Amino acid sequence: MILVALPTHLRTLARVDDDVALEVSGPVTQAAVLDALEASYPMLRGTIRDQVTRRRRPFIRFFACRRDLSHEPPDAPLPEAVACGAEPFMVVGAIAGG
Amino acid sequence: MSGVRLLVGTRKGAFVLTADGQRRSWEVSGPHFGGWEIYHLKGSPADPDRLYASQTSGWFGQQVQRSNDGGRTWTPVGNTFAYDGVPGTHQWYDGTPHPWEFKRVWHFEPSLADPDTVYAGVEDAALFRTTDGGASWHELSGLRGHGTGPHWAPGAGGMCLHTILQDPVKPGRMYVAISAAGAFRSDDGGTTWKPINRGLRSQHIPDPEAEVGHCVHRIALHRSRPGTLFMQKHWDVMRSDDGGDSWREVSGNLPTDFGFPIEVHAHEPETIYVVPIKSDSEHYPPDGRLRVYRSRSGGNEWEALTKGLPQRDCYVNVLRDASSVDSLDPCGIYFGTTGGQVYASADAGDSWTPIVRDLPAVLSVEVQTLP
């Protein structure tokens, strides 16, 4: 199981109260996790990455294991601690606007 | 007894305000979608309980919410707005080409007859339509692709398609308005379009009488006389009596002819309303006095409506989609401000009362007249 931590507004939109647990088949990458997330929660399509270009939205960051993974290639493997469910893959809204 | 339902979009959520036909006592529901910008909500004329809301965020993009029960519950529906084909470019602020990029939905206009058919005006300017209740959206690309698109440019608020009018008499006739491109008309249900800006003069473009490039803020029509259009332009209040083929200025004795919304009385097609704003760099009323101006002659001769509105130290703005009229008798008129007040008049503007005073900045106000 992969754990994904969502920002408050996306938890509200997805109607979940906590981190979401996902099954990811194959290599655990950023793209695979987001594919699984959007398959389970279709209302999140377009909120984290653009639906047409598949690029991360500009004010979204990806953190895990105290690292900023926002600029890692979408198909790069995520840290083992994320892949085994020990640490969450964190979707974070960038601080902007004061 | 009949009643009214106000759908209020704000910078931080949606609010639904309801009252009976007397329009004296109001119930406030909300915030719905707290923390999100709600650019617009609108109900279907064919099914008043069917509502659509544009929920947007600089962080999380565009959501479309649908309600089937008058705003008590909501469900997210389709939010893919993909331009048809290769989007191409429009002008950027400095005149250089800039690629078309979807940003948000500014306005929903449900079909007059079918609750599942809705038009969406978006930024960067384009017109989309759903025929399945919002599950999927498809561009009516004849507007963006008719030829003048590369010359459109954003206004200060972005390059937005903010007004969609359906002619209730002539099947297939529609109007849209875009900042800063101008007004456009289709006579075949949105397949093909042409600019309708003859008579407009805009000093902010190299040729003040160009075919496109005008910053039209809002257009309005009366159901009984849909060939007559009224326009609040960036500067100038305009009127057309030939479906937009030609325009003439009717600013008359307004204290300033800059402003955003324009409305037509529900039962008097020559009675119109504007909210004059001091200037395009000072987005507040002249002299700190919030005044609605009414013309009973279709323009040129205007009277200030002030009873119940703040007449000192008022520096709010009223945005282009933040006013609406009901169809009760006497006609009710409503507007919201960037200061979070929603004002109502149950006597066609003679007197005003704030329904709420402290909402987030109001982006849009729509009223539904309920049986």
* Residue B278 near residue B299 (C-beta atoms within 8 A): no
User: Which CATH superfamily, name and number, covers A2-93?
Assistant: Beta-grasp domain (3.10.20.30)
pLDDT at A97: 57
Helix (H) or strand (E) holding A36: helix A30-40
Q: What is the pLDDT of residues B144-157, one digit of tens each?
A: 999 999 999 998 88
Q: Is the pLDDT of residue B92 over 70?
A: yes
Q: Is the pLDDT of residue B1 over 70?
A: no
Residues of chain A contacting B102 with CB distance shorter than 8 Å: 52
pLDDT at B172: 96
Q: What is the pLDDT of residues A8-61, one digit of tens each?
A: 999 999 999 999 999 998 999 999 999 999 999 999 999 999 988 899 999 999
Residue of B nearest to A10 (CA): B60
Residue of B nearest to A49 (CA): B60
Rg of chain B taking only CA atoms, in angstroms: 19
Q: How many CB pairs under 8 A join A and B?
A: 45
Tokens of A95: 């601080």
Out of A57, A94, A96, closest to residue B61 by CB = A57
User: Cβ separation of B60 and A96 shorter than 8 Å?
Assistant: no
Q: What is the pLDDT of residues B193-219, one digit of tens each?
A: 999 999 999 998 889 999 999 999 999
pLDDT at B222: 98
Burial of A23-62, coded b for 16+ CB within 10 Å and e otherwise, reads ebeeebbbebbbbbbbeebebbbbbbbbbeeeebbebbbb
pLDDT at B204: 87
Separation in Å, CA of A76 to nearest CA in chain B: 23
At residue B2 the predicted structure's pLDDT band, cuts being 50, 70 and 90, is: confident
Dihedral class, residue B286 (left if φ above 0, else alpha if ψ from -120 to 50, else beta): beta
User: Cβ separation of A9 and B76 shorter than 8 Å?
Assistant: no
User: Cβ separation of A47 and B63 shorter than 8 Å?
Assistant: yes
pLDDT at A52: 84
Q: What is the pLDDT of residues B188-200, one digit of tens each?
A: 999 999 999 999 9
Tokens of B148: 């003048």
**What ipTM did this prediction achieve?**
0.90
Backbone angles phi, psi at B66, to 5 degrees: -125, 140
Q: By a Cβ cutoff of 8 Å, what residues of chain B touch chain A?
A: 35-36, 57-63, 76, 79-80, 82, 102
pTM of the model: 0.95
* Mean pLDDT (whole number) for B325-335: 97
Separation in Å, CA of A46 to nearest CA in chain B: 7
User: Cβ separation of B58 and A10 shorter than 8 Å?
Assistant: no
User: Cβ separation of A52 and B80 shorter than 8 Å?
Assistant: yes
Please state the domain extents for chain B: 3-370
Q: What is the pLDDT of residues B277-306, one digit of tens each?
A: 999 999 999 999 999 999 999 999 999 999
pLDDT at B156: 85
Out of A45, A50, A93, closest to residue B59 by CB = A93
Who's near B371: CB < 8 A, 6+ residues apart?
B2
User: What's chain B's average pLDDT?
Assistant: 96
CATH architecture under which domain B3-370 falls: 7 Propeller (2.130)
User: Cβ separation of A57 and B35 shorter than 8 Å?
Assistant: no
* Mean pLDDT (whole number) for B46-61: 97
